[in-house]
Amino acid sequence: MEALLKLRAIFPENFNAQFYIDVINGLQSEPKHLDAKYFYDAEGDKLFQQIMNCEEYYLTDCEMEIFRQQTAELSEVIMQGGQPFDLIELGAGDATKSTHLLRDLIKQEADFTYLPIDISSHVISTLNATLPLSVPGLKIKGLQGEYFEMLKKAADISTNRKVVLFMGANIGNMPVADAEDFCEELRRNLNPGDMVLIGFDLKKNPETILAAYNDSEGITKEFNLNLLRRINRELGANFNVDTFHHYAMYDPETGSCKSYLVSLKEQVVTFPDGEEIHFKRDEYIWMEISQKYSLDQTKEFALRSGFKPVANFFDSKGWFVDAVWVA
Ligand code: AVJ
């Protein structure tokens, strides 16, 4: 508490207390851990754009192909007999992929409102302003906030059938048990007949997966190091990023792809409130998980969380699936 007051005095403009608490707790854990959701500050957003454009990172291309080439089939599954519905997107970002679907739904004269949900108010205001121009005829109401809070809000706004999009393999950022809990909570927030579309990155050649998280240009490395830089920028720590090595690994048995930053020497990182974090030589910070699934596992997931799997959309390589489940 005292530390928070001190830090707030040092960083009056943009001090994010939750960020500080999560970082300190994570770095005091054994093993050390940082939450991947903090990758995405303005710098991190830019680096993630570069990752999506980089040769080895196949995920975005795969899902883009699905939304480009199977748009009509997606629309058909989603429309379900022509009743009005709400199309909710969790973590909408710039909505590039979903724009294909939105245009097609309007062409099919579907009666729907698009409700993108994002934690970033910048994302929501941009979508509210630009999407009606790039997708003429679109009814849009962006909701800024946490996923489940905003889902509840969406249920208050209208009783229409809900179709929830959770794309980009974002579910992969949760360990399997957490992802299962997430699906269960999603199910509890929906009514029978509501629908979800979830993007899963599938197990494939381990080299292909590892390369996507260990690209030759080192963008993923910078993406990871940027979180240490962000901690320096926003919390006044003194990480020397040159003394950390980026280590990515993929375990084909469990499907877990994990990223670590390994301290190359014994060192102490300090925060302006006097908090000290000790690193032994070769001690690591676990930065991120990007879980890969088998198709059977995604189906089990659906059933265990109370959904009925109704359709799977694959890219032409069969590397990625957008699974459609009904509550
Ligand atoms: C945005 C969570 C889907 O795990 O593939 C990309 C983030 N991390 N490269 C992923 C990420 C490193 C990405 N997700």
- Indicate whether residue 168 lines ligand 1 (CB < 6 A): yes
**Interface ipTM:** 0.99
Gap from CA of 213 to ligand 1 centroid (Å): 8
- Best substitution site from 48, 208, 220, 260 to test ligand 1's pocket, by max atoms within 8 Å of Cβ? 48
- Give distance in angstroms: CA of 288 to centre of ligand 1: 8
Residue 82 pLDDT: 80
**For residue 80, what pLDDT is reported?**
86
Question: In this predicted structure, what is the pLDDT of residue 13?
Answer: 65
Question: Which residues are bridge partners to 308 per DSSP?
Answer: 326
Residue nearest to atom 9 of ligand 1 (CA): 213
Q: Is 51 in the pocket of ligand 1 (CB under 6 A)?
A: yes
Note the pLDDT tens digit of each residue in 13-35: 667 888 999 999 999 999 999 99
CA geometry: angle at 76 spanning 73 and 82, to 5°? 170
Long-range contacts made by residues 122-131, C-beta under 8 angstroms, separation at least 24? 123/92, 123/93, 123/94, 124/92, 126/94, 127/92, 127/94, 127/95, 131/95, 131/99, 131/102
> Ligand 1 pocket: which of 173, 203, 226 to mutate (most atoms <8 Å of CB)?
173
Q: Is 220 in the pocket of ligand 1 (CB under 6 A)?
A: yes
Residue 18 CB coordination number (10 Å): 8
Q: Which atom of ligand 1 is nearest to the CA of 173?
A: 2
Q: What is the dihedral of CA 263, 265, 267, 271, to 10 degrees?
A: -30
Question: Residue 1 has what pLDDT?
Answer: 62
Q: What is the pLDDT of residue 17?
A: 87
CA 281 to each of CA 225, 244, 247, 263, 278: distance values in angstroms, whole numbers, following the listed order: 18, 10, 15, 6, 10
pLDDT beneath 50, residues of the chain: none
Phi, psi dihedrals of residue 106, rounded to the nearest 5°: -70, -40
Measure Cα distances from 126 to 33, 50, 122, 151, 157 in Å.
32, 20, 6, 20, 21
Q: What is the pLDDT of residue 93?
A: 82
Q: What is the structure's pLDDT at 12?
A: 55
Q: If residue 261 lies in a helix (H) or strand (E), which one and from where to where? A: strand 256-263
At 312, list the tokens: 């799977």
Q: DSSP class of residue 140?
A: B
How confident is the model over 96-146, as pLDDT tens digits? Answer: 999 999 999 999 999 999 999 998 888 899 999 999 999 999 999 999 998
Regarding the beta carbon of 290 and ligand 1, being less than 6 Å apart is answered yes
Note the pLDDT of residue 121.
84
pTM for the model: 0.94
pLDDT of residue 99: 96
In the three-class reduction of DSSP (H, G, I as helix; E, B as strand; rest coil), residue 276 is classed as strand
Q: Hey, whose CA ends up nearest to atom 5 of ligand 1? A: 290
Per-residue pLDDT, 142: 96
Q: What is the pLDDT of residue 6?
A: 72
Residue nearest to atom 4 of ligand 1 (CA): 290
- Going 26 to 147 to 131 to 312, the CA torsion angle's sign is positive
